[in-house]
Amino acid sequence: MDPKTKNQPQPPEQTLGAKQTLVEPLNTPTIANPISSSTEQNISQNHPQGPEQVQPMQFCRYCGATIFPNVYYCPNCGKKLKNPPLSTSISAQIKVYTFAVLLPPLGIIPAVRYLVSKEKHAKTVGIITLALTIIMTYISYVLFIKIMSSYNKSMSQFNELQNLGY
Ligand SMILES: [Zn+2]
């Protein structure tokens, strides 16, 4: 008799467990529904953007993440994918021209960088920088020759004075 009375309270526990299992599947669809609707919204939001962008999606060569073709830096790993367009702002132009004027032969580096650019305005900046580099290199060369000749003159004069016995 005792084992029967012990067995009898057990069935209610099982029914409670069955109720719990019944409640769980009811909750999961309500949670799953907003996710599926949100993903549907994302897809519907992405689709109109797709046909507008004729360029296909590209992959980062460093981490493999999908990236837009017009980005200069990977949004995932942050590595530079392609050189950003050269600035043609007034401040950027002043910097480049000053560099070309102060360091004549080295001005060729930014000049070439701007000349290679596909942008028309950047090319113009490159031409100006190149012209400034050529002019300043010529001026510095002429100045160098003048200084050297005057140095040689003074040296020869000094030698003449030494030869005279002073
Ligand atoms: Zn990356």
Residues around the ion ligand 1 (C-beta < 5 A): 60, 62-63, 65, 74, 76-77
The predicted pLDDT at position 53 comes to 45
> Which whole-number Å values give the CA distances from 57 to 3, 18, 71, 83, 94, in the listed order?
70, 50, 11, 18, 37
Indicate if the pLDDT at residue 90 is higher than 60: yes
The predicted pLDDT at position 52 comes to 52
Bridge partners of residue 73, in order along the sequence: 80
The CA 57 to ligand 1 mean position distance, Å, reads: 13
The CA 58 to ligand 1 mean position distance, Å, reads: 11
